[in-house]
Chain A
């Protein structure tokens, strides 16, 4: 059970009472400078993670809103993360703003029509492999908040060249057991001794590697079809506009 550090709280919160609203206005340049010198050691220079968790995601598990994020930065998360008692309130706010920017793509003005894109998304069978807002089939990544994670150019290329950005955690593997049929599917887990594979029907198969005649990792392959030729240019714009607007439940 962690007890709040009174000394730290005092150091951080005491000036807070004396702050004017202006002092807490975040400055991204300050945020970046402090992040790179005090946070990057564990969270990676671009927030991609390391000893500490990755921060380049739209919603942080332990700091889902700005106020919580500022508190986490100021007070730390025992036992692993130290608090930043040396930072001013404005610096804390700036780091919070910078961290929030790491995982969130700024909304862009796009040529397509998101409503038409939504219709196309269903008509072209995308829900057969993707979940949006809880509906669909989870063969590929959940797209509920994809617009907050990926910019329009990335989304467009993912539609036309799916193999360009293979999502983490969806490696296609083929396992050939000593007895029985080969299994092709998505790798759910792997260690040096075993592998677990989800087939197209979502059923799990577990193998000890010593039982396999062959194990092929189809790195660079995607099960997603390219829409480069099957969508007209305006349709592609609509689809990108729809996906870019998927920013998670507010």
Chain B
């Protein structure tokens, strides 16, 4: 009787991870409840047990092995369980031991192809009693967090012309948001919201406006139909303003802009959408008429800071185009910006944050050497923001490329790119973790890396910054000075975002390196 009563109690209990818990994630730092740790896109842990004084004592507590290499997952941690994903797969792991509690898999169709990116998945989202996973074949799936059994699977788009999903969904109150990959396949990008309980689509915002919509005239002729503007990295959310912020990818074809004359809105922009309706509140385009594949698919960082004596609600971004931007997140107004990595395509930014483009910096037939490379000064991996230091930490890539322009012909389900690049020799490429003042982008310190990184950054209240290298190092720096304090050789490149959480009241760090997810603790 007692056992039955217990089981009954569980079945009628309140939802495990209601929206209010995620909205107040900073109040329960032992968990990691959304992709960036909080809705503001900070990738910051309020945990303070690990400090510059003791971080050198970190060691591996357990590890989890994946089937595929170059794992990009950023796990979710809730109530003693870690939830992870791989392409079309999800698992729940016991947080104390790493033992697998359940697994879920959705077959990848045999005719599915990733056009222009690797087969990866960056993580799940959690809300109430469901785990949400975005799949390569472009389904959003809801799983029961206790068993991994499927509640529903909603088709977001047809994968055959090139739509796909690699991102962690964003779960907000009653809704789950996703974006799509496919910017090299001539898709028409969008951000979608689905009812968290039923899986019905609540709204869609096309990131390439159709005929009659504002912005459609920024695309010549019919070029809007294959304009790309993908949305493949998780957005941020301001509950008080009820606005969702999302980064938008490159216009297509990537390196040949002849057929798509105009600014190509909302490619290479941040967009602010009403979370209830999906209506556009404002947009800011970082790179008008991009011809270098500089997606602005970044996690938007929401920061409140003083600017010239006035408290501003800001949204900040170290962009793939090598400029740092601080905008007003209520209106989209440009506040400040500056170069934070080498670039040779613009003289600077004007008073409205528009780049002053140097003529002749586009790709051409013979090849044109430009900084940064197509992967940009930074790319999909997350920056971090510490409210304690007021600094934004970003893994920065110092690579130039010779850009070539070629013809592009649209055939559904094939590359629609119009050129390519040849990077400068490897021994001339390098990178750094840079600490930038959030309100201005001014650099405070940098920690140089051997090669251009692919790893995200985590900041903690203990005064630490964690990241990784292509050479397999997982490391910790002093958040105030950039001084290296701890490093571990993981045996494979780190191409993922670190997180932090508690196990039995002790602070731990988790990050994936190639095929292995490591959990570190004292």
Residues in chain A near residue B116, CB distance under 8 A: 41-42
A37-B406, A86-B414 known; A44 vs B484 contact (CB < 8 Å) = no
**Nearest chain-A residue to B411 (Cβ)?**
A86
Instruction: Tell me which residues across on chain A come within 8 A of B420, comparing CB atoms.
Output: 36, 40-41, 44-45, 50
CA distance A227 to B151 in the complex (A): 74
CB distance from A218 to the nearest CB of B (A): 13
Interface centre among A79, A82, A168, A189 (most CB of B within 10 A): A79
A190 and B404 within 8 A (CB): no
Among the interface residues A33, A86, A192, which one has the most CB atoms of the partner chain B within 10 A?
A192
A86 to B367, CA, bound (A): 27
Q: Are A191 and B111 in contact, CB atoms less than 8 angstroms apart? A: no
Check B68 against A45 for contact (C-beta < 8 Å).
no
* CB-defined contacts of B448 to chain A, threshold 8 Å: 192
Q: Does B206 contact A (CB under 8 A)?
A: no
Is B407 engaged at the interface, CB distance under 8 Å to the other chain?
yes
Asked whether any CB of chain B lies closer than 8 Å to the CB of A181, the reply is no
Say whether B408 faces chain A, with CB atoms less than 8 Å apart: yes
Stretch at the interface among B6-14, B94-102, B271-279, B467-475: B467-475
Given contacts A45-B367, A190-B471, A192-B475, contact A40 B418 (CB under 8 A): no
CA distance A42 to B374 in the complex (A): 11
CB distance from B383 to the nearest CB of A (A): 19
> Given A37-B417, A38-B415, are A192 and B404 neighbors across the interface (CB < 8 Å)?
no
Report Cα–Cα, A71/B422, bound state, in Å. Answer: 25
Contact in complex: B419, A40 (CB < 8 Å): yes
B87, B415, B447, B473: the one within 8 Å of A41 (CB): B415
CB 8 Å contact bits of B390-431 with A (1 = contact, 0 = none): 000000000000101011110101110111111101110000
Q: Which of A4, A5, A8, A191 contacts B469 (CB 8 A)?
A: A191
How many Å from the CB of B161 to the closest CB on chain A?
12
User: Which residues of B sit under 8 angstroms from A62, Cβ to Cβ?
Assistant: none
Inter-chain CA distance A82–B118, complex, in Å, is 10
Interface residues in A62-102 (C-beta closer than 8 Å to B): 76, 78-80, 82-84, 86
Would you give the shortest CB distance from A11 to chain B, in whole angstroms? 9
CB within 8 A of B473: which of A5, A76, A171, A192?
A192
Q: Find residues 101-149 in chain B having any chain A CB closer than 8 Å to their own CB.
A: 110-111, 113-116, 118-119
Query: A3, A40, A50: which contacts B404 (Cβ < 8 A)?
Result: A40
**Is B450 in contact with chain A by the CB < 8 A criterion?**
yes
Quick check: A168 and B427 within 8 Å, CB to CB? yes
**Whole-angstrom distance from the CB of B120 to the nearest CB of chain A?**
9
A140 to B62, CA, bound (A): 41
Shortest Cβ distance from residue A28 to the other chain B in the assembled complex, whole angstroms: 16
Q: Which residue of A lies closest to B403 (CB)?
A: A45
Residues 437-450 of B, flagged 1 when their CB comes within 8 A of A and 0 if not, give 00000000001111
Q: Which residue of A lies closest to B417 (CB)?
A: A41
Q: How many residues of B contact A (CB 8 A)?
A: 45
User: Is B473 a contact partner of A7 (Cβ separation < 8 A)?
Assistant: no
Contact B119 A82 (CB under 8 A): no
* Residues of B close to A160: CB separation below 8 A: none
A137 interface residue per 8 A CB criterion:
no
- How near does chain B come to A249, taking the closest CB pair, in angstroms? 28
A41 near B184 (CB under 8 angstroms)? yes
**Is the CB of A46 closer than 8 A to any CB of chain B?**
yes
Given A44-B423, A48-B422 in contact, is the A7-B110 Cβ separation under 8 Å?
yes
Please, how many angstroms separate the alpha-carbon atoms of A4 and B111 in the complex? 10
Q: Within 8 Å CB of B367, what residues of A?
A: 45
Give the docked Cα–Cα distance between A79 and B404 (Å).
27
* A41-B417, A82-B114 known; A193 vs B426 contact (CB < 8 Å): no
Return B146 CB to nearest CB of chain A, in Å. Answer: 30
Q: Are A46 and B422 in contact (CB under 8 A)?
A: yes
Residues of A within 8 A of B484 (CB): 192-193
B487 interface contact, C-beta 8 A: yes
A51 to B380 Cα, complex, angstroms: 14
Nearest residue, chain B, Cβ from A43: B420
Which of the residues B87, B413, B473 comes within 8 Å of A191, measured between beta carbons? B473
Q: How far is the CB of A56 from chain B (nearest CB, A)?
A: 10
- B421 lies within 8 A of A50 (CB): yes
CB distance from A124 to the nearest CB of B (A): 29
Contact B450 A190 (CB under 8 A): yes
Cβ contacts under 8 Å, A3 to chain B: 110
19 contacts between A and B (CB under 8 A): A7-B110, A7-B111, A36-B406, A37-B406, A37-B417, A40-B406, A41-B417, A44-B420, A45-B367, A45-B402, A45-B404, A50-B422, A79-B68, A79-B119, A83-B113, A86-B413, A192-B484, A193-B473, A193-B487
Known: A38-B414, A171-B427. 8 other contacts (CB 8 A): A5-B111, A80-B119, A82-B114, A86-B414, A168-B425, A191-B469, A192-B449, A192-B450
A residues engaging B (CB < 8 A)?
A: 3-8, 33, 36-38, 40-42, 44-46, 48, 50-51, 76, 78-80, 82-84, 86, 168, 171, 189-194
* Among all A-B residue pairs, the 4 with the closest Cβ atoms: A40-B420, A191-B471, A82-B113, A79-B119
